[in-house]
Amino acid sequence: MLLAAHADVVGVEREKWSLDPFAGTVRDGFIYGRGAIDFKGGLAVFTQAVVELARNHIPLHRDVILLSEADEESGRYNTSWLADSHWDLIDCEFALNEGGWIIADQSGKLQYVSVSTADKFSIPLTLTAKGTSTHSSMPLPDNPIFTLSKALTRLADYETPLEIIPNTREFLETLAKTSAPPLPAEIEALLNSKDPKQVQQADRDVSSNPLLHALIRNTIAPVILKAGFRGNVIPSSAEATVNLRLIPGTDFEALLTNIRRVVGDDRVDVSLASSSTPEGTRARELLTLSSRLTPSSKDTPLYRALEQSAHSLWPNTPVTTYLFQAGTDAMAWRKRGVPVYGIYPYPITADDLRRMHGNDERVSIRSLDQGTELIYKTLVEVEAQ
């Protein structure tokens, strides 16, 4: 089995930190530093669990591969490069990676343990509006900047349909059981109501949380606009990059048709980002592989061991599958058919979670200890099989 953790981190706004982001300062039971949560903390937990496995001479029935990777946040020597160049060293039956959360409240009581079994994936679309290039003193009705703006406005008012895959359903059911009102009733209506109006209202209620909104549908977000080059020229084209985040199993062609219908203007071309860009090439590759990106089975020794270890550590805390709302570097293993399970292996509060990629990122030392126990128990359990 493979334990994969990235050692690189995102940058910092140093002046906004109350301590040195790269010193690993311990204060009030927390270790502070960039990467404490994402994902040096996880790398530390995975490493310590493997060290204990060796120290305690646990007999191994399969290889345990510990991988500390570079370039997850950005850069070229990432897991895709690694898997392309050194697959013989990391070919595995299943893998553990970053992903789901062990959510705790302020008092330290756990709400749930979520293990991601799939990641959403990112596809860039390009919207290009064409018009006549001319002097801006005599505007024509086909100004491409207006055309594109109207198309984007129609997209802004559009909401993609609900798409709740089984592992999201399991997650929402767990959330309903472990949350304060009114969320449980809203989730119940969303998942089980037969009345379309009630489902629509429940969708609006649940979707007021941006994370939940992203879990139950494909999302559409304009991210880059390009148009014009000087103050007295109407340009002949205007272009927007729109980032789609797709649930594995999505019928991409149907979604594209829908987006074109919403845009509803044949002066606006809607297509995948050009295949001459790295993003465009990657998007095409992902779409051809999309059947491989569907959720990893729960029916593996690794998932069962994780579930069992979590239950033995925290008997009253439910364990659930989870669709990770963003992409992770697990894609390199997933697309080779390896089941991957994602977890940030430490109990964490919503407040601390907001510090990830933010300021004063931290993880509690007690959580690191508990996480190490979770992963160690999991390894021992997997190795016994």
CA distance to 150, 162, 167, 197, per residue, from 192 (Å): 37, 13, 16, 13
| Stretch of residues binding Zn ion (CB under 5 A), selected from 31-39, 83-91, 106-114, 199-207 | 31-39
Beta strands 95-104 and 340-349 are parallel
Distance CA 2, CA 82 (A): 13
Query: Omega into 347 within 30° of 0, i.e. cis?
Result: no
Q: Which is nearer to Zn ion, 68 or 178 (CB)?
A: 68
Q: Which is nearer to Zn ion, 314 or 344 (CB)?
A: 344
CA distance to 164, 173, 309, per residue, from 249 (Å): 11, 21, 30
User: Tokens for 296?
Assistant: 């990893």
Q: How far is the CB of 98 from Zn ion (least distance, A)?
A: 5
Distance CA 203, CA 213 (A): 8
Residue 118 pairs in a beta bridge with 323
Rounded to the nearest angstrom, the gap between the alpha carbon of residue 56 and the centroid of all alpha carbons in its chain is 35
Of residues 176 through 195, those in contact with Zn ion by CB under 5 A are none
Of residues 39 through 58, those in contact with Zn ion by CB under 5 A are 39
Which residues are CB-contacts of 46 (< 8 A; sequence separation ≥ 6)? 3, 5, 66, 96, 345, 375
The site that binds Zn ion (CB under 5 A) totals a number of residues, namely 3
Q: Which is nearer to Zn ion, 78 or 168 (CB)?
A: 78
Q: Is 329 a residue that touches Zn ion (CB under 5 A)? A: no
Distance CA 277, CA 87 (A): 26
Q: Which is nearer to Zn ion, 38 or 381 (CB)?
A: 38
| Stretch of residues binding Zn ion (CB under 5 A), selected from 38-46, 250-258, 281-289, 295-303 | 38-46
Of residues 201 through 220, those in contact with Zn ion by CB under 5 A are none
Which residues are CB-contacts of 57 (< 8 A; sequence separation ≥ 6)? none
Q: How far is the CB of 363 from Zn ion (least distance, A)?
A: 13
Q: Which of 2, 12, 30, 38 binds Zn ion (CB under 5 A)?
A: 38
Q: How far is the CB of 81 from Zn ion (least distance, A)?
A: 17
Q: How far is the CB of 374 from Zn ion (least distance, A)?
A: 18
Q: How far is the CB of 72 from Zn ion (least distance, A)?
A: 6
Q: Which is nearer to Zn ion, 10 or 225 (CB)?
A: 10
User: Residue 3 in contact with residue 66, Cβ under 8 Å?
Assistant: yes
Of residues 93 through 112, those in contact with Zn ion by CB under 5 A are 98
CA distance to 16, 19, 41, 271, 337, per residue, from 44 (Å): 26, 21, 5, 43, 27
Q: Which is nearer to Zn ion, 98 or 307 (CB)?
A: 98
Q: How far is the CB of 38 from Zn ion (least distance, A)?
A: 4
Q: Which is nearer to Zn ion, 70 or 183 (CB)?
A: 70
CA distance to 149, 221, 239, 314, per residue, from 145 (Å): 6, 18, 8, 56
Q: Which is nearer to Zn ion, 102 or 216 (CB)?
A: 102
Q: Which is nearer to Zn ion, 152 or 330 (CB)?
A: 330
The DSSP result for 252-312, as a single string, is: HHHHHHHHHHHH--TTEEEEEPPTTSHHHHHHHHHHHTGGGGSPPPS-SHHHHHHHHHHHH
Name which of 73, 7, 85 is nearest 46 in CA terms: 7
Q: How far is the CB of 222 from Zn ion (least distance, A)?
A: 25
Q: How far is the CB of 328 from Zn ion (least distance, A)?
A: 7
Q: Give, rounded to a whole angstrom, the gap between the first and last alpha carbons of the chain.
A: 12
For the chain, what percentages of helix, strand and coil (3-state, to nearest 5) are there? 40, 25, 35
Q: How far is the CB of 229 from Zn ion (least distance, A)?
A: 38
Q: How far is the CB of 206 from Zn ion (least distance, A)?
A: 26
| Stretch of residues binding Zn ion (CB under 5 A), selected from 32-40, 177-185, 223-231, 366-374 | 32-40
User: Residue 183 in contact with residue 175, Cβ under 8 Å?
Assistant: yes
Q: Which is nearer to Zn ion, 120 or 377 (CB)?
A: 120
Instruction: Please report, as ranges, the residues that interact with Zn ion according to CB under 5 A.
Output: 38-39, 98
